[in-house]
Amino acid sequence: MADLDWLIRPIAHRGLHDTVNGLIENTPSAVEAAIEAGYAVEVDVQPAGDGQVMVFHDAALDRLTRGRGTVIEHSAAELKRLAFKGTSDRMQTLPELLEQVSGRVPLVIEIKSDWGERGAFEKMLASCLQPYKGLAAVMSFDPNATAAFGDAAPQRPRGLVAGSFRNPHYWGHLSPQRRFVMRHLLSAFVAKPHFVAYDIETLSAAAPWVWRSVLRRPLLTWTVKSNAQRERARRCADAMIFEGFRP
C-alpha cells in the first residue's frame, strides 16, 4: 500500500459548506470553496435507482432538495434535475465531481450504506475511480462496504468510519453485538482498512488509541466543530474532518 501522508491534512466535511451563504453540503459550490481554500474534500456517495454513483448524503431528498422520496427511487437524470434549497447547484454524479476536482486536492469519499448485501455499488464506484489520476480514498461505516470496495479496487486506499454507535436514532437498526464489534474496531478484520476515521466525541476510547499508537496506522477524526475538539484532534489523531470553521 502506498504512503498515505497525503491524507494527513484538514479535510472539509461535505465540502466547505456554509448554508447561510448558500453553500450547501456536497454541492459543486461547497467542493469548489474547499478547493480554493486548499483543503482536502470529503463527500458522500450512494446509488441512484439506475445504479449511477450520486454525490449526496441523506437517503431521503426532502432535507436538502425540493424533491420527495429517496435517492434510490430516482434515476440519475431525475436527481440531477432536482433543485436544492437555497442554491442553484444541482446534484452531481461521481464522474462529474472527479472532473470538477481534477486532482487539485485529495478526495475522501464515504459510501452511504443501506446495510444490506454489498458488492455491486462498490464495483461501480471502483469503475468510476479507475481512470482518475488524482489522490482519492474511500471509506464507510459499513465494514462490508469497505471490504467490497477493497475487493473491487485493492490498490485504492480505503478506510473504516467508527465511533461509539450508541445513539439509537442512528444505530438502533443494528444489533448490540454488531455495534460492539464496530465500536471496538473488531470489524477491521472484515474491512481490512488502511486508515480509520473515529468520532471526535469518543476519540479517547481504547480502540482508536491502539490503532494509532500500537499498530501505528493513520487515524482521522470526525466531525471537528469547535476549538476544544480541534485541540483533542491535534493530540489524539493524525488529521481532522472538520466543518463550521476554517483551520
CATH of the domain at 145: 3.20.20.190
Q: Assess if residue 88 is contained within a domain.
A: no
Q: Is the pLDDT of residue 110 over 70?
A: yes
Q: What is the C-alpha separation between 245 and 224, in angstroms, rounded?
A: 9
pLDDT of residue 199: 98
Query: What are the E-state strand segments in 68-179?
Result: 107-111, 136-140, 158-162
Q: What is the C-alpha separation between 144 and 117, in angstroms, rounded?
A: 8
Q: Give the pLDDT band of residue 3 (cuts 50, 70, 90).
A: confident
pLDDT of residue 1: 42
- What integer best gives the mean pLDDT of the chain? 97
Could you tell me what percent of the chain has a pLDDT over 90?
Answer: 98
Could you tell me what percent of the chain has a pLDDT over 70?
Answer: 99
Q: Assess if residue 247 is contained within a domain.
A: no
Q: Assess if residue 229 is contained within a domain.
A: yes
pTM, 2 dp: 0.97
Strands 11-13 and 40-47 come out as parallel
Q: Is the pLDDT of residue 125 over 60?
A: yes
User: Mean pLDDT across the stretch 238-245?
Assistant: 97
Q: Assess if residue 73 is contained within a domain.
A: no
User: Mean pLDDT across the stretch 156-180?
Assistant: 96
Question: Which grid coordinates are listed for 69?
Answer: 422520496
Question: Which grid coordinates are listed for 63?
Answer: 432535507
User: Mean pLDDT across the stretch 61-87?
Assistant: 96
Domain region containing 219: 5-46+104-242
Q: Is the pLDDT of residue 203 over 90?
A: yes
Instruction: Confirm whether 13 is a catalytic residue.
Output: yes
Instruction: Confirm whether 57 is a catalytic residue.
Output: yes
Q: Is the pLDDT of residue 178 over 50?
A: yes
Number of domains in the chain: 1
Of 13, 17, 74, 194, the active-site residue reads: 13
Residue 148, SS3 per DSSP: helix
Q: Is the pLDDT of residue 227 over 60?
A: yes
Q: Assess if residue 120 is contained within a domain.
A: yes
The stretches of 130-211 forming alpha helices (DSSP H) are: 143-152, 168-171, 176-183, 188-191, 206-209
Q: Assess if residue 79 is contained within a domain.
A: no
Nearest to 12 by CA among 33, 28, 34, 27: 34
Q: What letters, b where the CB count within 10 A reaches 16 and e where it falls short, cover 145-168?
A: bbbbbbebbeebbbbbbbbebeee
Of 17, 57, 173, 184, the active-site residue reads: 57
Of the CA atoms within 13 Å of residue 38, those in its CB half-sphere come to 3
Q: Assess if residue 212 is contained within a domain.
A: yes
Q: Is the pLDDT of residue 59 over 60?
A: yes
pLDDT of residue 2: 54
